[in-house]
Each structure stands twice: as C-alpha cells, then as structure tokens.
Structure 1
Amino acid sequence: MPFVNIKVPEAALTRAQKAEIVHRATEMLVEYFSEAARPHTMVLIEEVKDGGYARADEVFVIPDAYRARD
C-alpha cells in the first residue's frame, strides 16, 4: 500500500486545498504503481502547530499572510 505523509503548518491549507493534494498525490502514485494501487493509497496530511518546528535553530510561526482563507 503506497503511503504519503505530508506535514504542513497548521491553518496553512483550506479543506479544498487538502482534498486537491490528496487527489494529486493519489494520481501520481497510480501512475507509478497502476490503477490497482488507488484503493490502497493512503495520504496523510498532518498539521503542525505554530512553534512545533524549526529551521536553522529558529522556531517557526506561520505568518498571517500564509494562513488559509476559507
């Protein structure tokens, strides 16, 4: 079973954007593994809370400009 795990900042994506990512990731894996993989493909989008990750020793908080607007 193909498994994709995507981590994004909390509130960075709308529900529609998440659905599109799931669809596109599934389509990509079907291209590689065949249509038989579709019903067994798992795509997990994990939202990481602000302050829950860092880059170059700097704890990251998502800027308001990057927050999803439903």
Structure 2
Amino acid sequence: MPFVNIKTPEGALSRAQKEEIAHRTTDMLVEYFSEDARAHTMVLIEEVKDGGYARADEVFTIPDAYRAGE
C-alpha cells in the first residue's frame, strides 16, 4: 500500500487544494505501481499549527497573504 504523508502549515491550503493534491498524488503513484494500487493508496495531509515548525533556530509562522481563503 503506497503511503504519502504531506505536512503543510495550518490554513495554507483550501479543501479543494488538498483534494487536488490527494488526487494528483494518487494518480502519480498509480503510474509507478499500476491501477491496482489506486484503491490502496493513502495520502495524509497533516496541518501543522502556526509556530509548530522550525528550521535551525527560526520558528516559522505563515504570513496572512499565504493563507487559503476557504
């Protein structure tokens, strides 16, 4: 069973964008594993709370301009 875990800042993607990512990711994996993999492919999109991720010493928050408008 192919499994993909995508982490994104909370509020950065709309529901429609998450659905598109899930569909396109599944389609890509089907190209590699065959159509039989479609029913068993799991795409998990996890939203990380603002300030809940960092690189080196810098804690990130998402600018309002990048927030999805649902």
SS of residue in 2 equivalent to 1:21: helix
- Mind listing any 5+ residue stretches in structure 1 that lack a counterpart? none
Q: Does 1:45 align with 2:45?
A: yes
Q: Which residue of 2 aligns with 1:16?
A: 16
Report the TM-score when normalising by structure 2: 0.98
Q: In percent, how many aligned pairs have the same letter? A: 83
Q: Distance in 1 between matches of 2:14 and 2:60?
A: 20
Q: Which residue of 2 aligns with 1:60?
A: 60
Q: Distance in 2 between matches of 1:25 and 1:57?
A: 32
Give the aligned CA root-mean-square deviation in angstroms: 0.5
SS of residue in 2 equivalent to 1:5: strand
Q: Distance in 1 between matches of 2:20 and 2:56?
A: 30
SS of residue in 2 equivalent to 1:47: strand
Runs of 4 or more above 6 Å deviation: none
C-alpha deviations, 1:12-41, integer Å up to 9, x for none?
Answer: 000000000000000000000000000000
